[in-house]
């Protein structure tokens, strides 16, 4: 992933890339100079590069620049770190070049989490191979690019509640897990449940300066518990349990434990599997371990 910044006065936000700048039908608003976002995918066509954000919108590469992170990285020849009773903490397999947060914001995010939820994170990682700092690092990778600024003028509960992201199914049809889009969700769970989740997504969109959409979003909570799990864990979504840190922690630890069971004694592969597979998951694990290294250096 890369963090990008808009460098033109106005840039169209589009639902799909185009090959003709005269095409207006797929414009879904504009962003202004200085706007920041994280790109999770890029494609190239006749007009150059296009970057897709976490909500599935595309931005023309000629109107943005990749922000260079000048923070120090952990030397790759360091030995692995050890914490008594915990998994060996490896360094990133490769030095991450594109991180969603700078080192300073990573550390400030970890401090905020420690202040408000440190005891809960410590408790939930007891008798596991994981540390509370790993949870902070995962939050830095998953959602902190959005919630970091909210921590300045919103309560912790408000921050948790607004961590509703990922509209890829409706924006561009790239989602493969259930529900692939809002109509598929409504067909199984009905309009009332859909309306409740749509309202939650629109509250988040408003905080981000976006107008409302009739879309069911797919990621919920600080660690982005995916909507596909409504099929076996309906209460988390229908009762809005992502507003409560205890429930968010329960889900992330359960998932990490299952991945650890499949990759025993290998924290890198565990974190990678937590995100998925392939090159993007590899980058995800490198980023998380970089954040973890920075946090551990501070502590």
Domains and CATH numbers, the chain: 2-66 (2.30.30), 103-166+218-298 (1.10.530)
pLDDT of 149 strictly over 60: yes
Q: Residue 2 has what pLDDT?
A: 77
User: What kind and span of H or E run contains 197?
Assistant: helix 182-207
Residues 8-12, mean pLDDT to the nearest whole number: 95
> Is the pLDDT at 147 greater than 90, yes or no?
yes
pLDDT score, position 77: 42
The confidence score (pLDDT) of residue 75 equals 47
Q: What is the mean pLDDT of residues 59-82?
A: 65
Q: Rounded to 5 degrees, what are φ and ψ at 6?
A: -75, 130
Cβ within 8 Å of residue 87, ≥6 positions away: 129, 130, 260, 265, 267, 270
pLDDT for 76 beyond 60: no
Rounded to the nearest 10°, the torsion over CA 299, 117, 69, 57 is: 160
Q: Which of 66-70, 154-158, 185-189, 210-214 has the lowest mean pLDDT?
A: 66-70
Question: The dihedral of CA 181, 185, 187, 191: what is its sign?
Answer: negative
Specify the pTM.
Answer: 0.78
Lowest mean pLDDT among 78-87, 109-118, 176-185, 230-239: 78-87
Question: Residue range 254-268: average pLDDT?
Answer: 97
For a pLDDT cut of 90, what percent of the chain falls above it? 75
Do 236 and 156 contact (CB within 8 A), yes or no?
no
Residue 70 has pLDDT above 90, yes or no: no
Predicted confidence band of residue 226 (pLDDT cuts 50, 70, 90)? very high
């Amino acid at each position: 992933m890369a963090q990008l910044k808009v460098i033109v006065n106005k840039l169209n936000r589009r639902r799909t890339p185009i090959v003709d700048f005269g095409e207006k039908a797929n414009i879904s608003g504009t962003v202004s100079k200085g706007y920041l976002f994280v790109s999770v995918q890029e494609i190239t066509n006749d007009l150059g590069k296009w970057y897709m954000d976490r909500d599935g919108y595309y931005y023309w590469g000629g109107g943005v620049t990749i922000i260079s992170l000048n923070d120090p990285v952990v030397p790759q020849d360091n030995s692995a770190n050890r914490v008594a009773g915990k998994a060996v903490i490896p360094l990133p397999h490769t030095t991450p070049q594109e991180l969603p947060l700078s080192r300073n914001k990573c550390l400030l995010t970890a401090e905020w989490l420690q202040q408000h939820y440190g005891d809960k994170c410590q408790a939930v990682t007891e008798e596991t191979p994981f540390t509370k700092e790993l949870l902070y690092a995962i939050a830095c990778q998953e959602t902190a690019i959005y919630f970091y600024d909210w921590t300045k003028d919103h309560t912790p509960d408000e921050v948790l509640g607004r961590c509703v992201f990922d509209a890829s199914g409706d924006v561009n049809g790239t989602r493969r897990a259930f529900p692939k889009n809002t109509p598929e969700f409504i067909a199984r769970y009905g309009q009332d449940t859909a309306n409740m989740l749509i309202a939650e997504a629109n509250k988040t969109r408003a905080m981000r300066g976006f107008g409302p959409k009739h879309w069911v979003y797919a990621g919920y909570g600080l660690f982005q518990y995916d909507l596909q799990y409504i099929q076996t864990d309906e209460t988390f979504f229908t009762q809005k349990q992502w507003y409560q840190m205890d429930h968010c922690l329960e889900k992330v630890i359960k998932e990490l434990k299952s991945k650890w069971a499949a990759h025993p004694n290998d924290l890198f592969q565990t974190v990678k599997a937590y995100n998925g597979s392939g090159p993007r998951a590899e980058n995800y694990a490198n980023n998380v371990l970089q954040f973890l290294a920075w946090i551990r250096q501070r502590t």
